Amino acid sequence: MICILAMIVFGILGIFSATHRKIALEAFDCVFRRVTLRKCETGLDKRLKSQITGKLMRKNPTVARFTFRHFEGISWFFTVIFIVSIIYTGIGGYNYYLYGNCNGPNEDGFCIFDPLGSNSKVSTAQTEASCSVEPQTKESLSLENVNLESFPKIDQGAENDVVFIGCYACPYTRDSYPTIKKLAERQDVNFIFAHLPVKEDTRFISNILNCINEVDSKKFVEFNDELFSTDVSVLRNEDYLLKVVEKIGLDKEAIRQCSDTERIQNLTRLQISEIQKTGIYGTPTVFINGDVVVGPKPYRVYKRLLK
Amino acid sequence: MNINQIKKDFPIYNQKINGMIPIYMDSACVTLKPNQVIKAINKYYKEFPACAGRSGHTYGRKVTEEINHARKIMQDFIRAKRKEEIVFTRNTTEGINLIANSLNLKSGDTVLTSDKEHNSNLIPFQLLQEKGIIHKIFNFGDIEDFKSKLTEDVKLVSTVFTSNLDGTSQPIEEMIRLAHKDKSLILVDGAQAVPHKEINVKKLDADFLVFSGHKMLGPSGTGVLYGKLHLLEELKPFLVGGDTVKNSTYTGYEPEDIPERFEAGLQNYAGIIGLAEAAEYLKKIGMKNIEKHEYKLNQYISGKLIDMGITLLGDTDPSKRGGIISFNIKGVHHHEVAGILNESSNIMIRSGMHCVHSWFNKHGLDGSARISLYLYNTKEECDILIEEIRKIKKFTE
Ligand SMILES: Cc1ncc(COP(=O)(O)O)c(C=O)c1O
Residue B163's nearest CA partner among B131, B200, B188, B134 is B188
Q: Is B132 left (phi over 0), alpha (psi -120 to 50) or beta?
A: left
Q: Residue A9 above 90 pLDDT?
A: no
Chain B residues with CB under 8 Å of A54 CB are: 339-344
Side-chain-side CA neighbours of B209 within 13 Å: the count stands at 30
User: Could you give phi then psi for residue A158, rounded to 5 degrees?
Assistant: -85, 170
pLDDT at A109: 80
Decide: helix, strand or coil at residue B225. strand
Give the C-alpha separation, A71 to A1, whole Å.
9
Domain membership of residue A111 (yes or no) is: no
Domain membership of residue A191 (yes or no) is: yes
Q: Which amino acid is at B7?
A: K
* A135 to A56, A138, A279: CA distances (angstroms): 52, 10, 9
Kindly give the interhelix angle for A252-259 and A203-215, rounded to the nearest 10 degrees. Answer: 120
pTM score > 0.80 for this model?
Answer: no
For the domain that residue A134 is a member of, what is the CATH number?
A: 3.40.30.10
Residue of A nearest to B390 (CA): A61
Cβ contact A22:A36 at 8 Å: no
Both A162 and A253 in a single domain?
yes
Q: How many domains does chain A have?
A: 2
Question: CB distance B340–A58 less than 8 Å?
Answer: no
Domain membership of residue A236 (yes or no) is: yes
Contacts of B259 (CB under 8 A, 6+ apart): B71, B84, B85, B86, B87, B88, B232
* Lowest model confidence (mean pLDDT) among A85-99, A171-185, B167-181, B383-397: A85-99
Nearest residue by C-alpha to atom 7 in ligand 1: B92
What CATH number belongs to B37-284? Answer: 3.40.640.10
ipTM of the complex: 0.78
Question: CB distance B339–A61 less than 8 Å?
Answer: no
Mutate to test the interface with A, among B18, B328, B343, B345 (most CBs of A within 10 A): B343
Both A211 and A296 in a single domain?
yes
The pLDDT-based confidence of A232 (bands split at 50, 70, 90) is: confident
* B50 to B61, B275, B277: CA distances (angstroms): 9, 18, 19
Both A95 and A213 in a single domain?
no
Residue of B nearest to A59 (CA): B344
Both A39 and A157 in a single domain?
no
pLDDT at A1: 67
The B368-372 sheet, strands edge to edge: B311-312, B324-328, B368-372, B350-352
What does DSSP assign to residue B260?
Answer: G
Q: Is residue B355 annotated as a catalytic residue, yes or no?
A: yes
CATH among 2.60.200.20, 3.40.30.10, 3.90.1150.10, 3.30.43.10 for B3-25+286-394: 3.90.1150.10
Cβ contact A31:A79 at 8 Å: no
Domain membership of residue A139 (yes or no) is: yes
Residue B341's nearest CA partner among B371, B304, B317, B311 is B371
> How far is CA A265 from its chain centroid?
33
B356 CB neighbour count, 10 Å cutoff: 25
Ligand 1 pocket list (CB less than 6 A): B 28-29, 91-93, 118, 120-121, 160, 164, 189, 191-192, 212
Kindly give the interhelix angle for A71-99 and A44-59, rounded to the nearest 10 degrees. Answer: 100
Q: Which amino acid is at B338?
A: A
Both A53 and A178 in a single domain?
no
Residue of A nearest to B333 (CA): A46
**Considering CB atoms only, which of B333, B339, B388 is closest to A51?**
B339
Chain B residues with CB under 8 Å of A50 CB are: 335-340, 342-343
From the CA of A90, how far away is ligand 1's center (Å)? Answer: 53
Domain membership of residue A107 (yes or no) is: no
Domain boundary among A99, A133, A150: A99
Question: CB distance B344–A69 less than 8 Å?
Answer: no
Chain B residues with CB under 8 Å of A55 CB are: 343-344
**Considering CB atoms only, which of A54, A61, A65 is closest to B339?**
A54
Cβ contact B242:B263 at 8 Å: no
> How far is CA A13 from its chain centroid?
30
Residue of B29, B51, B355, B382 marked catalytic:
B355
pLDDT tens, A22-37?
777 777 777 777 676 6
Q: Residue A130 above 50 pLDDT?
A: no
Split chain B (397 residues) into runs of 10 and give each run's mean pLDDT.
Answer: 94 93 97 98 97 88 96 98 97 97 94 98 96 97 97 96 96 97 97 97 97 98 98 92 91 93 95 98 97 96 95 90 95 95 96 96 96 98 97 91
Cβ contact B300:B345 at 8 Å: no
Both A15 and A91 in a single domain?
yes
Domain membership of residue A239 (yes or no) is: yes
The range of the structural domain enclosing residue A156 comes to 122-303
Cβ contact A286:A196 at 8 Å: no
The pLDDT-based confidence of A131 (bands split at 50, 70, 90) is: very low
From the CA of B355, how far away is ligand 1's center (Å)? Answer: 8
Query: Mean pLDDT throughout A268-290?
Result: 91
pLDDT at A30: 72
Q: Which amino acid is at B260?
A: E
pLDDT at A222: 93
Query: Mean pLDDT throughout A295-305?
Result: 92
CA distance B222 to chain A (A): 30
Question: CB distance A64–B391 less than 8 Å?
Answer: yes
A123 sits in which H/E element: strand A123-124
* A144 to A130, A267, A291, B120: CA distances (angstroms): 20, 20, 12, 88
Q: Indicate which atom in ligand 1 lies nearest the CA of residue B29.
A: 14
The size of the A-B interface in CB pairs under 8 A is 56
Residue of B nearest to A69 (CA): B395
> How far is CA B312 from its chain centroid?
22
Decide: helix, strand or coil at residue B205. coil
Both A203 and A260 in a single domain?
yes
Q: Residue A118 above 90 pLDDT?
A: no
Task: Give B139-179 as a DSSP string.
Answer: -TT-HHHHHHH--TTEEEEEEESB-TTT-PBP-HHHHHHHH
Cβ contact B243:B70 at 8 Å: no
Question: CB distance A50–B391 less than 8 Å?
Answer: no
Domain membership of residue A186 (yes or no) is: yes
Q: For chain A, state the CA radius of gyration.
A: 29
Domain extent listing, chain B = 3-25+286-394, 37-284
Cβ contact A271:A206 at 8 Å: yes
* A195 to A88, A154, A165, A169, A283: CA distances (angstroms): 38, 15, 6, 10, 10
CA distance A45 to chain B (A): 10
Both A157 and A289 in a single domain?
yes
pLDDT tens, A41-82?
667 778 888 989 999 999 999 999 999 999 888 888 887 888
Long-range (24+ apart) CB contacts under 8 A made by A106-114 are: A106/A138, A106/A292, A106/A293, A106/A294, A106/A295, A108/A295
Domain membership of residue A117 (yes or no) is: no
Both A92 and A170 in a single domain?
no
pLDDT tens, A196-212?
998 888 899 999 999 99
Both A72 and A200 in a single domain?
no
* B58 to B39, B68, B192: CA distances (angstroms): 21, 16, 38
